[in-house]
Amino acid sequence: MPYLFGSLIILNAAVLVSYLFFQQPSTTQSLQQAQDELVQPIDFINSSEHIPPPIGTTD
């Protein structure tokens, strides 16, 4: 019985690996939108101009 259980675990792992290796991922709408956002540049704002001065300094 332990040999049967062990062989089923090994068979299950082999099927899972082969499925994950040969299965091609499909592109969903949210994934396509995220990829498009990565291609388009994002506006950069220098936020260091908006921080208050360090404590103890007069500015």
pLDDT (tens digit per residue) in 33-52: 888 888 767 777 888 878 88
Task: Flag whether 53 is in a domain.
Answer: no
CA 26 to chain centre: 15
Say what the pLDDT of residue 40 is.
Answer: 67
Task: Flag whether 7 is in a domain.
Answer: yes
Q: What is the pLDDT of residues 8-34, one digit of tens each?
A: 999 999 999 998 888 877 778 888 888
Under the banding of pLDDT at 50, 70 and 90, the label for residue 59 is low
Contacts of 59 (CB under 8 A, 6+ apart): 53
Task: Flag whether 43 is in a domain.
Answer: yes
Say what the pLDDT of residue 7 is.
Answer: 95
Contacts of 53 (CB under 8 A, 6+ apart): 59
Task: Flag whether 56 is in a domain.
Answer: no
Task: Flag whether 27 is in a domain.
Answer: yes
Tally of structural domains, the chain: 1
Whether 14 contacts 22, CB under 8 Å: no
Task: Flag whether 29 is in a domain.
Answer: yes
Domain range spanning residue 8? 1-47
